[in-house]
Amino acid sequence: MVVEQDGDFVGVLIATARQYAFNVAFHAQIEVFYVVPARRRTAVAMQLMGAFRRWATNRDVVEIWLMDNFNAPSEYNRKLFARMGIPAIGALHSKWVERS
């Protein structure tokens, strides 16, 4: 899903729908969610999420995932996701694998 305003790119959301490993239901996961800095704090993020929810609903998914896996999730992201009805659950733990 891409949002353009006045011919300019302002945001994108890329998602996948996957079947759970333990049953036949599907979940949708947001892989990329980006709004250009100049258009943040506008309706662009909500437009993308609305399109994503419609897309997910049309695929009969039972859960949506958005992993906020930045170094330190910002308070802005927490508030944005809460407004979208996506509560924080658990934490993401990650370590880079060093290669020689």
Q: Give the pLDDT score at 85.
A: 82
pLDDT beneath 50: ranges in the chain: none
Q: How far apart are the first and last CA of the chain?
A: 38
Q: Give the pLDDT score at 8.
A: 94
Q: Give the pLDDT score at 62.
A: 93
Q: Give the pLDDT score at 92.
A: 66
Q: Give the pLDDT score at 93.
A: 64
- Distance CA(18)–CA(59), nearest Å, equals 10
Give the burial string for 5-38 (b: 16+ CB within 10 Å, else e): eeeeebbbbebeeeeeeeeeebebbbeebebeee
- Distance CA(31)–CA(39), nearest Å, equals 20
Domain 2-83 has CATH 3.40.630.30: yes
Q: Give the pLDDT score at 55.
A: 95
CA 44 to chain centre: 13
The tokens describing 10, both together, are: 């302002």
